[in-house]
Amino acid sequence: MMLLNSSLPAFMNYILATAYGLLLAYTIIRILLDTHSTAKALGYILLVLILPLMGMLIYFSFGINYRHKKSNKKRTIALDEFTKSFKGSVPDDTKELLKKYAGSLDKYYDLIHFIYSLGSEKLSVNEFKLLTNGEEKFPEVLKTLETAKHFIHMEYYAWENDTRGNQIKDVLLRKIKEGVKVRIMYDDYASRKMKHNIVRQLKAGGAEIYPVIKIKLVAIANRVNHRDHRKVIIMDGHTGFVGGINVSDRYDNSIDTGLYWRDTHVKIMGGTVHNLQRHFIVNWNVCQPNKLSVSNELFPEVKEIADKGEVQLAQIVAGGPLYPLSPIMLSYFKIFTVAKEKLYMTNPYFIPNDSILDALKQAALSGVDVRILMPEKSDSAVVGAASKFYYEELLQAGVKIFLYKKGFVHAKTVVADGDLSVVGSANMDIRSFDLNFEIMSVIYGAPFAKQLEGAFLNDMKECKELSYESWIKQSTFRKLTYAAARLVSSFL
């Protein structure tokens, strides 16, 4: 043992060995109790065994979120309290809608109940607008914000100090002068570039704006495992936006940033906005002192959507460290197992756990046309290499993999069987399943699904398809690189 020293008396070596053994045992116990991911727990245990003192130092420095335990406990209490108030005060038409659309929703009856049971995620009638890339999203957002009468709520992972970032800021400042309440939450690390100007200007103009999790030292921000990865806007309680597009010029291809950026958002008008609002308020009530409660202003009666003879329903699924059952992962899994004919998924960061991997293989082996669209070149070398580790067994099972070549695809979407859609912020990895605050819309109905499927098929034109025969010819060195990246990815 490295701690033993032949120049020290025997009893000192005994004391050192005993102390080291106790510290090692304590560290392993902490890893087992505090690290829910099996892969991550195993990785840390191997690290402290192979690099005794250095491994422990790494774990206690980066593996434990000391400050967030208290924060997550507060958020869990806030979630429970607000959910009870929400259920008791806001109308829930789920049972009536299931009866009304019984014939159309039969195949999704179990899925709807499953999502509902994850957190009272009620089913609501809505209108939807698919927004492809920033050049469609930002004009729609700016136009919609101009119509706000009572309040604007925004929760964003990344907000840049650039053209689009400042355009939205300017609209918000004008609306505040008109008497509109503006409340904003942002991720303190990802949005750090706007803290010294946009945040100050919004505060000076009367906006309430706070980081979801305050970071004091950006230099050690990699210790902050919990990030707010949501991209949400709620206006007057009846209109909302959710998806993968941050507030940044890079997502808008009408602004030349040097790289074509492919992403997806959805505008929702209807009762589902109430659940977006509910999850916004839970985080809001923890990150700042002025708590919000259920009221007619925040949860107004939503005007009835005209019956067009086709299903236009949705639920919201929220995830994060305060949700004990990994709702994002479980919802993805359930959707993959429900698909009967087609399952088309776009996701930029694909590092699935065993459950997701098995669900995709099971679907393909059952005859479902499973297609996964990912970027040919990731913006993270490690994540890109880790994703490739899973290609061989997916291709072998019959899953079709398409690599997007035109630029970087950042959309997080699923469309199944021509009548079920998902648009949200969640990637297909451990971070989105368990660590980040995420949110996604699950949309039932052919009108929107046909649009989303059309966008997917259009994106396929910019892809190259992998084949099992060519992929297995990868060199042993490349396969070893992918396997090593897969192990490292559990720490990301």
What is the 3-state secondary structure of the chain? CCCCCCCCCHHHHHHHHHHHHHHHHHHHHHHHHHCCCHHHHHHHHHHHHHCHHHHHHHHHHHHCCHHHHHHHHHHHHHHHHHHHHHHHHCCCCHHHHHHHCHHHHHHHHHHHHHHHHCCCCCCEEEEEEEEECHHHHHHHHHHHHCCCCCEEEEEECCECCCHHHHHHHHHHHHHHHCCCEEEEEECCCCCHHHCCCHHHHHHHCCCEEEECCCCCCHHHHHHCCCCECCEEEEECCCEEEEECCCECHHHCCCCCCCCCEECEEEEEEECCHHHHHHHHHHHHHHHCCCCCCCCCCCCCCCCCCCCCCCCCEEEEEEECCCCCCCHHHHHHHHHHHHCCCEEEEECCCECCCHHHHHHHHHHHHCCCEEEEEEECCCCCHHHHHHHHCCHHHHHHHCCEEEEECCCEECCCEEEECCCEEEEECCCECHHHHHHCEEEEEEEECHHHHHHHHHHHHHHHCCEEECCHHHHCCCCHHHHHHHHHHHHHHCCC
Question: Does residue 264 register a pLDDT over 60?
Answer: yes
Catalytic residue selected from 412, 419, 429, 434:
412
pLDDT value at residue 69: 53
Q: Determine whether domain 327-489 maps to CATH 3.30.870.10.
A: yes
Known catalytic residue at 229? yes
pLDDT value at residue 162: 95
Catalytic residue selected from 267, 410, 429, 434:
410
Mean of the pLDDT values across residues 249-255?
A: 96
3.30.110.60, 3.30.870.10, 3.30.450.20, 2.120.10.30: CATH of 67-102+126-311: 3.30.870.10
Catalytic residue selected from 228, 417, 419, 459:
417
pLDDT value at residue 65: 53
Known catalytic residue at 231? yes
Catalytic residue selected from 122, 175, 231, 274:
231
| Position with higher pLDDT, 77 vs 116 | 116
Known catalytic residue at 113? no
pLDDT value at residue 180: 98
Catalytic residue selected from 229, 265, 279, 361:
229
Residue-averaged pLDDT of the chain:
89
pLDDT, tens digit, 9 for 90 and up, residues 47-86: 888 887 888 887 776 666 544 555 567 777 777 788 888 8
Mean of the pLDDT values across residues 444-467?
A: 97
Mean of the pLDDT values across residues 299-312?
A: 82
Known catalytic residue at 249? no
Q: Where are the domains of the chain?
A: 10-64, 67-102+126-311, 327-489
Q: What percent of the chain has pLDDT over 90?
A: 65
